[in-house]
């Protein structure tokens, strides 16, 4: 069984992450060199791609597109508390919100970081916690490394699926890399540090 960091501890992961079929996308080149045209994809999976996804028994976290296109099939599993959902970094939270009557019906929401440099889901986490009032497990998946954990925790993540080639116990130490956050956080410090500390004379 794989392990995750949950609420500050390493523990077994009893959720299965369901993924979409891999797309064959043409690589754009210029002067014989590969050019990175975008940080991540921009197009959600189609109904046909969602239909191809095999969903195992037990607790599963499915892509947003699979939930949207197969909602009638998956609704009983949501009601049983066995269904979570995950979003790509380009997928808007509005699409998730519009797909369910109450956001807290999902016991797990995972946000994918396809690359270390793609930080869009930091904002998504804040919106889920502060604006939408999400109280369940908010999980970071994808290119999740020790250097990110402290900051991810500050914006509302409480679960981390650390990249498979990294030591999860070493990554856990990243939650304590700093003694105090400088900015206001979702994790308990609303005011920035300069407002929390009295200025000297």
Tens of pLDDT, residues 102-130: 999 999 999 999 998 888 999 999 999 99
Q: Which domain, by its residues, includes 120?
A: 3-19+38-196
Query: pTM value?
Result: 0.83
Flag whether 31 is in a domain. Answer: no
Give the CATH number, domain containing residue 119.
3.20.20
Least confident stretch, 117-131, 154-168, 170-184: 170-184
CA distance 65 to 29: 30
Flag whether 98 is in a domain. Answer: yes
Tens of pLDDT, residues 92-102: 999 999 999 99
Give me the mean pLDDT over the 52-64 stretch: 97
CA distance 164 to 134: 27
Query: Which residues touch 45 (CB under 8 Å, ≥6 apart)?
Result: 20, 63, 65, 66, 69
Flag whether 14 is in a domain. Answer: yes
Q: In which band, very low, low, confident or very high, does the pLDDT at 201 lie, cut at 50, 70 and 90?
A: very low
Flag whether 84 is in a domain. Answer: yes
CA distance 151 to 170: 16
Give me the mean pLDDT over the 174-182 stretch: 68
Is there a contact between 105 and 78 (Cβ–Cβ < 8 Å)? yes
Tens of pLDDT, residues 2-40: 999 999 999 999 999 999 987 765 555 555 555 444 445
Flag whether 42 is in a domain. Answer: yes
Flag whether 26 is in a domain. Answer: no
What pLDDT was estimated at residue 189? 58
Flag whether 32 is in a domain. Answer: no
CA distance 168 to 34: 33
Flag whether 169 is in a domain. Answer: yes
For the chain, what's the residue count? 201
CA distance 49 to 149: 32
Q: Which of 115, 124, 111 shows the shortest CA–CA distance to 161?
A: 111
Pairing of β 9-12 and β 3-6: antiparallel
Give me the mean pLDDT over the 81-85 stretch: 98
pLDDT above 90: percentage of residues in the chain: 70
Question: Which tokens is 123 given?
Answer: 């904002």
Alpha-helical regions (H) of 104-167: 120-126, 146-154
Q: What is the average pLDDT score of the chain?
A: 86
CA distance 140 to 151: 11
Domain count, the chain: 1
Give me the mean pLDDT over the 155-159 stretch: 96
Question: Which tokens is 97 given?
Answer: 């919100």
């Amino acid at each position: 069984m794989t392990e995750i960091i949950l609420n500050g501890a390493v523990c077994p992961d009893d959720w299965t992450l369901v993924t979409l079929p891999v797309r064959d996308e043409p690589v754009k080149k210029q002067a014989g060199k590969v050019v990175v045209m975008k940080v991540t994809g921009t197009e959600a999976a189609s109904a046909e791609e969602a239909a191809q996804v095999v969903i195992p028994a037990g607790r599963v976290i499915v892509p947003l597109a699979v939930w949207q296109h197969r909602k009638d099939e998956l609704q009983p599993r949501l009601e049983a508390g066995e269904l979570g959902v995950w979003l790509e970094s380009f997928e808007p939270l509005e699409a998730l919100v519009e797909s369910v009557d109450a956001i807290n019906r999902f016991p797990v929401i995972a946000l994918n970081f396809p690359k270390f440099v793609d930080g869009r889901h930091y904002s998504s986490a804040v919106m889920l916690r502060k604006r939408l009032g999400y109280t369940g497990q908010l999980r970071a998946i994808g290119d999740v490394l020790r250097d990110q954990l402290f900051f991810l925790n500050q914006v509302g993540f409480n679960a981390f699926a650390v990249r498979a080639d990294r030591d999860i116990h070493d990554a856990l130490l990243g939650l304590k890399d700093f003694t105090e956050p400088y900015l206001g956080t979702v994790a308990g410090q609303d005011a920035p540090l300069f407002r929390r500390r009295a200025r000297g004379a």
